[in-house]
Chain A
Amino acid sequence: MYLDLVFFDSVQELQPLAKKLGQDFIIAKTFRNDFELKQLKEKISSTAFKTCHVLHSPNMQELLKFRQKADFIAVYGKNLGRNKFAVSNERVDFLLMPCSSARKPEFDAALARLAAENKVCIGLLFEEFANAGSEGLQALLRNYLLVARLCRKFKIQIAVFSGAKNAFGTRQEKDFASFLCLLGYSREQALKQVRGLERFLEKKGKLEGFEILEGEKE
Chain B
Amino acid sequence: MKNVKKSLKALPLSMRGKKRYVLFELFAEKPLSAAIVEKEIMQRFLQIFGSKGIAEQRLQFIGFYGGKNLGIVKCSLEECENVKAGLLFVGKVAGISAIPRIVSVSGSVKKLKTIAGK
Contact = CB atoms under 8 A, between A and B. Distances in A.
Interface of A: 20-21, 126, 129-130, 134, 137, 166-172, 175-179, 181-182, 187, 190, 218
Contacts of B99: 21, 167-168, 170-171
B96 to A, nearest CB: 9
Interface stretch (B13-21, B55-63, B84-92, B110-118): B84-92
B89 A182 contact: no
A130 B85 contact: no
Given A137-B47, A176-B88, 8 more contacts: A21-B101, A129-B89, A137-B48, A168-B98, A178-B88, A181-B81, A182-B81, A182-B85
Given A20-B27, A137-B48, A171 B100 contact: yes
Nearest to A20: B27
A46 B100 CA distance: 28
Interface of B: 27, 47-48, 81-82, 84-85, 88-89, 91, 97-102, 105
Contacts of B27: 20
Contacts of B105: 218
B102 A178 contact: yes
Contacts of A179: 85, 88
A181 B82 contact: yes
Contacts of A168: 91, 97-99
B91 A182 contact: no
Contact of A182 (B82, B97, B101, B102): B82
B30 to A, nearest CB: 13
Contacts of A176: 88
- 9 closest Cβ pairs, A-B complex: A168-B97, A178-B84, A181-B81, A178-B85, A182-B85, A179-B85, A178-B81, A172-B101, A134-B47
Contact of A187 (B47, B81, B89, B98): B81
Contacts of A167: 99
A21 B48 CA distance: 25
Nearest to B105: A218
B84 A175 contact: yes
A142 to B, nearest CB: 13
A70 B82 CA distance: 36
A190 B85 CA distance: 12
